[in-house]
Amino acid sequence: NLSDKLDKAFHILKGHGKITEVNVAETLKEVRRALLDADVNFKIAKDFTTKVKEKAIGQNVLTTLQPGQLLVKLVKDELTELMGGDVAGINLSGNPTVILMSGLQGSGKTTFSGKLANYLKTKKNKKPLLVACDIYRPAAIKQLHVVGEAIGVDVYSEPDNTNPVIIAQNAISFAKHQGLNVVIIDTAGRLAVDEAMMTEISNVHKAIQPQETLFVVDSMTGQDAVNTAKAFNDILNFDGVILTKLDGDTRGGAAISIKTVVNKPIKFVGTGEKMDAIDVFYPERMAERILGMGDVVSLVEKAQEHYDEEEARKIQKKIAKNEFGFDDFLSQIQQVKKMGNMKDLVGMIPGASKAMKDVQIEDDAFKHIEAIIHSMTPKERSKPAIIDVKRKARIAKGSGTKVEQVNQLMKQFEQMSKMMKMMQGPGGKNMMKMMGN
Ligand code: GDP
Ligand code: MG
C-alpha cells in the first residue's frame, strides 16, 4: 500500500550517509510512483513532487543535519495542504438544518446517514430525523429504519409515495412539528452515474435547499471516485465529501485527488460498519497516516475519551496492595475494548501497522480470554494460585478453550502481576507515570 511504498522511498534517502541532489530526486520519484499506485491522478502527483522538490531546495535540505526528516516533513506538510489544510466543520445553522446525502449505490450513504445522526445526537446534542428517500428498494427503507432503531433516532418514510421531493418536503414539515432540529435525507443511488439519478437528486436539492449537501464516496474505488465526484459536483455544487470504508486496506489516494479536482473539503470519514465508526477528517492526520507515521493524536484522543480515570485509580490502589486479580484484568480489557476495534487501534500506532502486517488481529481478540476468566469462580479470580490442574481442565471445558490456553493466560497474568509489583518498587513510580497515570 501507499505507506509501504513511501517507506521504501524514504529508505533510499536513509540508506545514504550523505544526501545529494540526485537521491532527493530519486526519492521524490519514488514518492510520485507511490502516489500514482494509490490512484492519485498523474498530474496531481507530478505537480506535488515538483513542488516538494522546489521547497526542499529552497530550504537547503541538502545541507541540513537530518535531510531525510526534513524531506519527510515537507512531504507531509504538502500532503496536508493538498487535502485541505484545516478541518472543515459542518454547517448546522438551519432550523431545522437540512443535510442531503448524495452518491452512488453502495458508497455508504445509508450507513453514514445513521453515523452522522448518531454523532450529532451524542456529540452535538442535536435532535436528528432520518428520512428515507431511496424509494426504489423496499429493503432500503427497512435498512434505514433498522439503523434508526439502533441509535434511537426517528426515521421518516412514506412507503407508498414515489416522489422523493414530496417525501423530503413532508419530512422537513414533520421535523418542525416535532421539534427536531436536523433533517438528514438519505437518497437513492445507482451503480453508475446516470441521468435519471442526477435529475432526481437535483430536483430534491432545488426543492429543499439544504444547508449541507454531502457527497459520499467509497474510498476504495480509486480513480473512479474522482470522476463520480466531478459528475455530482457539476450538478449539486456540494459542500463537502464523506470518504467511507477508510478501514481495512484502503488507498489514501482518493482523498488527495477528490479534494484537488472538485476543491471541496473532506468533512468526515467512515472507518467501519458500526454506527460509531465515524471520524472528523483531519488533513494533517491523514497525511501522517498515508506517510505511515501513525495517527498518534487520534489514538491519544480516543484513549482519553474512553479511559475511565476512576477505574484507573482503583486498579492502581489494588496493585499497590497486591490485590490485582483476574476481575481487574477483565475490566482493563473492557476499557481497551471501549476504545474501538483492535485493528483500527493497532493501525494508529506508528510502525505497528507494518510490524503487525502478517499478524491476524480478530475483532474479538479478547474473546477467549474473557471466556476463560468468566469460567473461573470469584475466589479463583482474586487468588489465581488456588487453581489446580483439575480446575484448569474444568475451566477450559467451561470456556470452550484448551487447557494450554488457560495455562498460557495464567502465565501471562503472572508475568504481568510481577511486572506491576516491580513498578511499585523504588524507581517504579516514574515508570507508572510514564505509562499515563
Ligand atoms: P448506500 O447504498 O450508499 O446507502 O450504501 P450502504 O450504506 O448501504 O453501504 C453499503 C455497504 O458498505 C454496507 O454493507 C455497509 O455496511 C458498508 N459500509 C458503509 N460504510 C462503511 C465503512 O466506513 N466501512 C466499511 N468497512 N463498510 C462500510
Ligand atoms: Mg442506501
Q: Is residue 255 part of a domain?
A: yes
The CATH number given to whatever domain includes residue 147 is 3.40.50.300
Q: Is residue 172 assigned to a domain?
A: yes
Q: Are residues 240 and 332 in the same domain?
A: no
- Written as one letter, the residue type at 386 is I
Q: Are 294 and 349 in contact (CB under 8 A)?
A: yes
Residues 264 and 392 in one domain: no
Same domain assignment for residues 148 and 58: no
Please enumerate, by residue number, every residue annotated as part of a binding site: 103-110, 186-190, 244-247
Q: 286 is written with which cell numbers? A: 491523514
Which of 268, 291, 314 delimits the end of a domain? Answer: 291
> Which residue minimizes the CA distance to atom 12 of ligand 1?
108
Shared domain for 282 and 136, answered yes or no, is yes
- Indicate whether 39 and 121 sit together in one domain: no
Ligand 1 atom closest to Cα of residue 134? 4
Same domain, residue pair 73 and 106 = no
Assign residue 382 the CATH number of its domain: 1.10.260.30
Considering the domain architecture, whether residues 78 and 104 belong to the same structural domain is answered as: no
411 in a structural domain = yes
Atom of ligand 1 nearest to the CA of 277: 23
Q: Does ipTM top 0.90?
A: yes
Q: Is residue 160 part of a domain?
A: yes
pLDDT of residue 436: 41
Q: Are residues 129 and 262 in the same domain?
A: yes
Binding residues for GTP: 103-110, 186-190, 244-247
The model's pTM:
0.66
Look at the chain and count its residues. Answer: 437
Pocket test for ligand 1, best of 104, 111, 343 (most atoms within 8 A of CB): 111
Domain count, the chain: 3
Q: How far apart are CA 126 and CA 108, in angstroms?
A: 22
Q: How is residue 386 annotated by DSSP?
A: G
Pair 277, 330 in one domain:
no
The rounded distance, in Å, linking the Cα atoms of 41 and 45 is 6
- Determine the atom of ligand 1 nearest the C-alpha atom of 115: 20
CA distances from 342 to 248, 339, 362 (A): 12, 8, 7
Residue ranges making up the domain that contains 313? 301-434
pLDDT at 62: 53
**End of a domain among 266, 291, 316?**
291
- Is there a single domain that holds both residue 59 and residue 139? no
What's the pLDDT score for residue 59?
A: 66
Ligand 1 centroid from CA 140, angstroms: 12
**361 and 409 inside one domain:** yes
CA of 285 to the centre of ligand 1 (A): 23
The CATH number that applies at residue 17 is 1.20.120.140
* pLDDT on residue 77: 85
The answer, yes or no, to whether any atom of ligand 1 lies below 6 A from the CB of 187, is no
Q: What angle do CA 8, 11, 12 make, to 5 degrees?
A: 100
- Domain annotation covers residue 92: no
Alpha-carbon distance of 95 to 91, in angstroms, equals 11
100 CA distance to ligand 2 middle (Å): 13
Query: Is the peptide bond between 96 and the residue preceding it cis, with omega within 30 degrees of 0?
Result: yes
* pLDDT given for residue 346 in this prediction: 61
Together in a domain, 144 and 56: no
Centre of ligand 2 to C-alpha 1, Å, is 29
374 in any annotated domain: yes
Provide the residue-wise pLDDT of the chain in tens; the chain has 437 residues: 555 656 666 655 554 444 456 667 777 887 787 777 766 778 888 888 888 888 877 666 555 545 566 677 778 888 888 888 888 889 998 899 999 999 999 999 999 999 999 999 999 999 999 999 998 888 999 999 999 999 999 999 998 999 999 999 999 999 999 999 999 999 998 888 888 889 999 999 999 999 999 999 998 887 788 889 999 999 999 999 999 998 866 656 777 888 888 999 999 999 999 999 999 998 888 877 666 655 444 554 555 555 556 666 777 777 777 787 888 888 777 766 666 666 666 655 555 555 555 555 555 667 888 899 999 998 999 888 899 999 999 999 999 999 999 998 898 888 777 766 665 554 444 444 444 43
Per the rule left: phi > 0, alpha: psi between -120 and 50, beta: everything else, 131 is beta
